[in-house]
Amino acid sequence: MTKYRTHNCAELTSKNNGEIVDLSGWLHKKRDHGNLLFLDLRDNYGTTQCIIEKDQPFFKELEKMQLESVLKINGLVSQRSKETINRELKTGEIEVIIKSYEVLGTCKELPIPVFSDQEYSEEIRLKYRFLDLRRKKIHSNILLRSKVISFIRDEMNKLGFLEFQTPILTSSSPEGARDFIVPSRLNPGKFYALPQAPQQFKQLIMVSGFDKYFQIAPCFRDEDARADRSPGEFYQLDLEMSFVEQEDVFEVVEKLLNKVFKKFTDKKFLYEKFPRISFKNAMLKYATDKPDLRNPLEIHDLTSVFKRDDVKFEIFKRLVKSGSIVRAIVTKNTSDKPRSFFDNFDKWAKSEGASGLAYFSFEKNKNIEAKGPVGKLFSPESLNEIMKITGANIGDSIFFSCDKETNVLQLMAPARDKIGEELNLIDKNVFAFCWIVDYPMYETDKNTGKIKFSHNPFSMPQGNEKDIDFKNPLNIKAYQYDIVCNGIELSSGAIRNHKPELMYKLFEIAGYKKSEVDEKFKGMINALSFGAPPHGGIAPGIDRIVMLLAGEKNIREVTLFPMNQNAQDLMMNAPSEIHDKQLKELNILIKKK
């Protein structure tokens, strides 16, 4: 009980019948019957119907009251008659007969209504975010986010993890995403960077002997936005453990995610134990390392079929001869679908920038036949071969694409989603988690052709140190893993390399001299040479977890005050210019355009 209220707007029931109460909240909705006025008063907890009749002197004032004004209402709790009870409202058994009221906060005419399920443009929502956040759906998303974070914190504590804060002003890192830069006043010409993740710090915490660490860590990356990627900043459940192997990290994360997802949704898990899929297999079967396993479609390699003499598909055969590959998706019992069904996928593929998506269906008359524009280019024997490779049957159809490997993967990954979606194969009521494991340590840089780290340079290579094939670095796999849910990458993690000598060797392969490594990763390398424990960790994205739990496709729906796609905050007007005085203090000159 405070000066402003004896109860909140979700509390009153028939038990309170006859009590005099104070409620404070926003004027959510009015229903004006001329001589009788209903007012819904709303706060964070719920709404309560308040009522006033014409004989009250301030009836006219309340009748004209602007919605979203903040009111304190003093009144009598009154049991509603049976016919007028509202079962959809917690407080629907009663109403409050207004005896007096006070305006605590006036409200101008609203740019967007709060009471509405309509959708509004991002621009206006972000500009008036405080109004937008009063609306039911997003308000409950943000409440959910708060609860999820508290729950995670609690569970992590129970699992024996210690919560620490790491610096926000740190040094720019040469690897990874673009940094946000902060100029240093005391060190003219030098800059801090905001952390892309507390990566090096969490490893240093392990070297410092704290054994298990976690943090709900803000991470800053100056990269362009996507629907599931905020520009600028996001939060990770950052965690790291000492004296563990990959499976030990998996056990903790599976346990945690199980608890979190079961606590906050009713949706089932497709797999209780998260399947482990090697990077190589994922790329083959799903053409991506973040597959949506709710989708049962799998991709098959048909390159060998196009080397057969009884296949007359000359365009593809020529491409295959010059190094292209063929990958295919089979759809069950679709041979009866109209021509437009198939052509639409071809059209779609072209709109994605591919040369198209070829197709045919398997039919049987005397022999096995392929029905479709390119069907007669395949002999019955070759069709048999395709059926053997893909598991296709008579009545099924096949979509295939031929191009350089990177292009084929780039087409087949979204094609698998698209076809699965069109055929309604994706069960929206499940969560399908999986681990992607055995990432390669290195890859070839597309632009320079040189060998570079494919993920985190601090990851531990797999295998006994003596047996690692340093001569063929592209064959080296790392203890590097991702966790994926419903096609969304939740996080990456790794068992770290805690051996300085091995690290020098690995950096050398990526073209770094010892002196360069010493210079760029001085703190880290130095720490590892004073007795570092084997350790590893992971960092699931909090925003994406909440997105999945809330069933939202856009990260802004679970973020209190997000920036727009151009990394601007329209409400606070950020970024903005600063005064000359500030620039001068920082020794910064702005280049005039």
Partner RNA sequence: GGGGGUGUAGCUCAGUUGGUUAGAGCGAUCGCCUGUCACGCGAUAGGUCGCGGGUUCGAGUCCCGUCACUCCCGCCA
Instruction: Identify the three-state secondary structure at position 38.
Output: strand
Establish if 438 lies at the interface with RNA (CB under 7 A): no
The nearer residue to RNA, 498 or 556, going by C-beta atoms, is: 556
* Minimum distance from residue 149 beta carbon to RNA (Å): 21
Q: Which residues does 523 contact at the CB level (< 8 Å), separation at least 6? A: 200, 204
Structure tokens, 549 = 């739990």
Q: Binding RNA by CB under 7 A: which of 221, 294, 317, 477?
A: 221
Q: Binding RNA by CB under 7 A: which of 70, 89, 193, 216?
A: 89
Stretch that binds RNA, among 12-20, 31-39, 152-160, 361-369 (CB under 7 A): 31-39
Q: Binding RNA by CB under 7 A: which of 70, 76, 85, 182?
A: 85
Establish if 407 lies at the interface with RNA (CB under 7 A): no
Instruction: Name the packing angle between helices 542-550 and 246-264 (round to 10°).
Output: 40
The nearer residue to RNA, 283 or 320, going by C-beta atoms, is: 283
The nearer residue to RNA, 119 or 266, going by C-beta atoms, is: 119
Q: Binding RNA by CB under 7 A: which of 15, 31, 136, 514?
A: 31
- List the interface residues with RNA, window 90-129 (CB under 7 A): 92, 95, 109-113, 116, 118-124, 126
- List the interface residues with RNA, window 321-340 (CB under 7 A): none
The nearer residue to RNA, 365 or 447, going by C-beta atoms, is: 447
Residues 443-475: b if buried by 16+ CB within 10 A, e if exposed: eeeeeeeebbbbbbbbbbbbeeeeebeeeebee
Q: Which residues does 198 contact at the CB level (< 8 Å), separation at least 6? A: 166, 215, 217, 219, 238
CA atoms 283, 285, 286, 289: torsion sign: negative
Count of alpha carbons within 13 Å of 447, Cβ hemisphere only?
0
* Minimum distance from residue 340 beta carbon to RNA (Å): 20
CA 508 to chain centre: 34
Question: How far is the C-alpha of 66 from the C-alpha of 28, rounded, in Å?
Answer: 10
The nearer residue to RNA, 4 or 58, going by C-beta atoms, is: 58
How far, CA to CA in Å, does 339 sit from each of 186, 335, 368, 416, 435? 70, 10, 20, 19, 38
Total interface residues for RNA by CB under 7 A: 71
In contact, 182 and 193? CB cutoff 8 Å? yes
The nearer residue to RNA, 60 or 158, going by C-beta atoms, is: 60
Stretch that binds RNA, among 49-57, 277-285, 463-471, 506-514 (CB under 7 A): 49-57
Q: Binding RNA by CB under 7 A: which of 16, 49, 397, 401?
A: 49
Extended strands (E) in 496-551: 535-538
- List the interface residues with RNA, window 155-194 (CB under 7 A): 173, 175-178
The string of DSSP codes covering 248-288 is: HHHHHHHHHHHHHHHHH--PEES-SSPPEEEHHHHHHHTSS
Question: How far is the C-alpha of 411 from the C-alpha of 495, rounded, in Å?
Answer: 32
In the shown chain, the binding pattern of residues 60 to 79 toward RNA, with x for contact by CB under 7 A and - for none, equals: ----x-xx------------
- List the interface residues with RNA, window 365-404 (CB under 7 A): none
- List the interface residues with RNA, window 253-292 (CB under 7 A): none
Stretch that binds RNA, among 195-203, 246-254, 295-303, 466-474 (CB under 7 A): 195-203
Q: Binding RNA by CB under 7 A: which of 2, 3, 35, 429?
A: 35
Question: How far is the C-alpha of 80 from the C-alpha of 38, rounded, in Å?
Answer: 13
* Minimum distance from residue 483 beta carbon to RNA (Å): 14
Kindly state the DSSP code that residue 476 receives in the 8-state scheme.
-
The nearer residue to RNA, 303 or 480, going by C-beta atoms, is: 480
Closest CA to 51 of 16, 79, 89, 70: 79
The nearer residue to RNA, 55 or 309, going by C-beta atoms, is: 55
Stretch that binds RNA, among 221-229, 337-345, 378-386, 430-438 (CB under 7 A): 221-229
Residues 547-569: b if buried by 16+ CB within 10 A, e if exposed: bbbbebeebbbbbeebbbeebbb
The nearer residue to RNA, 42 or 294, going by C-beta atoms, is: 42
Dihedral Cα 246, 248, 251, 254, nearest 10 deg: -40
Question: How far is the C-alpha of 273 from the C-alpha of 252, rounded, in Å?
Answer: 12
* Minimum distance from residue 333 beta carbon to RNA (Å): 30
Q: Binding RNA by CB under 7 A: which of 56, 80, 139, 155?
A: 80
The nearer residue to RNA, 177 or 474, going by C-beta atoms, is: 177
In contact, 554 and 267? CB cutoff 8 Å? no
Establish if 410 lies at the interface with RNA (CB under 7 A): yes
Establish if 145 lies at the interface with RNA (CB under 7 A): no
Q: Which residue has the tokens 């119907």?
A: 49
Beta carbons within 10 angstroms of residue 38's beta carbon: 14
Q: Binding RNA by CB under 7 A: which of 158, 226, 263, 268?
A: 226
Closest CA to 375 of 422, 342, 407, 353: 342
The nearer residue to RNA, 119 or 247, going by C-beta atoms, is: 119
Stretch that binds RNA, among 50-58, 159-167, 255-263, 428-436 (CB under 7 A): 50-58
* Minimum distance from residue 530 beta carbon to RNA (Å): 22
* Minimum distance from residue 73 beta carbon to RNA (Å): 15
Establish if 516 lies at the interface with RNA (CB under 7 A): no
* Minimum distance from residue 588 beta carbon to RNA (Å): 21
* Minimum distance from residue 141 beta carbon to RNA (Å): 15
- List the interface residues with RNA, window 558-587 (CB under 7 A): 564-566, 568
How far, CA to CA in Å, does 150 sit from each of 154, 262, 400, 481? 6, 15, 47, 26
- List the interface residues with RNA, window 450-509 (CB under 7 A): 453-457, 492
The nearer residue to RNA, 98 or 392, going by C-beta atoms, is: 98
How far, CA to CA in Å, does 368 sit from each of 265, 374, 392? 48, 15, 12
The nearer residue to RNA, 111 or 160, going by C-beta atoms, is: 111
What radius of gyration do the chain's Cα atoms show? 31
Establish if 2 lies at the interface with RNA (CB under 7 A): no
Question: How far is the C-alpha of 571 from the C-alpha of 216, rounded, in Å?
Answer: 25
Q: Binding RNA by CB under 7 A: which of 22, 43, 228, 403?
A: 228
Question: How far is the C-alpha of 415 from the C-alpha of 425, rounded, in Å?
Answer: 13
